[in-house]
Amino acid sequence: MSESRFRDPGVRLWHFAREILVRCPRCDGRAAVTIRPADRDAHRYAVGWLTAPHRLTCGGCGHAAEWAPREWRSGLGDAYFTSGGPFVVPRLGGPYDPYFGLPLWLRRRCCGGRTLWAYNVAHLDLLEGYVGARLRERPVPAGSQTLLERLPGWMKAAGNRDELLAAISVLRASA
């Protein structure tokens, strides 16, 4: 079990989006979606690397695919304006990766059929620390809309703690 006290570090979901573990569409093994190596250090702000070209790679079967940002048009979502024009910012959240739409590798049904998911091991670590804590403290200074503040109520409920920690343990073993 994690520590009994946990302070929200104030991170957002995009902090974990640099590497997203997914199911390979070819072999169903573990694959990763990352910023293309040539574009990794080219962006100063998160929105820049969220809209940077991404690559899907599977170490099991060697499958690879490329994702390029889509040009923004009204109704497509949030826009990121660059000298190359506006691009659609991928929508983060849910048990699928925002680039290729593939199922996340770290996902498991629990707590009455709900889906627990994480982008990567660091994301899983944060969830485990939060879920396992008996005392949860807000970040200092308190912000709003951190990843942990936005968790659904079923993940915050003390009555689900044991089942969530067991599911996290299973996910960790598969990572």
| For residue 87, pLDDT beyond 90 | no
Domain count for the chain, please give it. Answer: 2
Q: What's the pLDDT score for residue 38?
A: 64
110 and 146, same domain (yes or no): yes
pLDDT bracket for residue 2 (50, 70, 90): very low
Q: Please count the other Cβ atoms lying within 10 Å of the Cβ belonging to residue 55.
A: 17
| For residue 3, pLDDT beyond 60 | no
For residue 159, is it within any domain? Answer: yes
Among 59, 88, 117, the domain boundary falls at 88
Measured between alpha carbons, how far is 46 from 169 in angstroms, rounded to an integer? 30
| Over residues 127-149, mean pLDDT | 87
What mean pLDDT is reported for the chain? 90
21 and 84, same domain (yes or no): yes
Q: What's the pLDDT score for residue 51?
A: 87
For residue 94, is it within any domain? Answer: no
Q: With contact defined as beta carbons under 8 Å apart, do 92 and 13 qualify?
A: yes
| For residue 84, pLDDT beyond 80 | no
128 and 167, same domain (yes or no): yes
For residue 95, is it within any domain? Answer: no
Report the C-alpha dihedral over residues 117, 121, 126, 128, rounded to 10 degrees: 70
For residue 98, is it within any domain? Answer: no
Measured between alpha carbons, how far is 32 from 55 in angstroms, rounded to an integer? 8
24 and 77, same domain (yes or no): yes
Q: With contact defined as beta carbons under 8 Å apart, do 121 and 173 qualify?
A: no
Domain range for residue 40? 14-88
Q: What's the pLDDT score for residue 98?
A: 95
| Over residues 49-59, mean pLDDT | 92
Among 88, 116, 131, the domain boundary falls at 88
For residue 93, is it within any domain? Answer: no
> What six digits make up the tokens of 114?
């709900």
| For residue 43, pLDDT beyond 90 | no
Task: Give, for 155, the enclosing helix (H) or strand (E).
Answer: helix 153-156
pLDDT bracket for residue 164 (50, 70, 90): very high
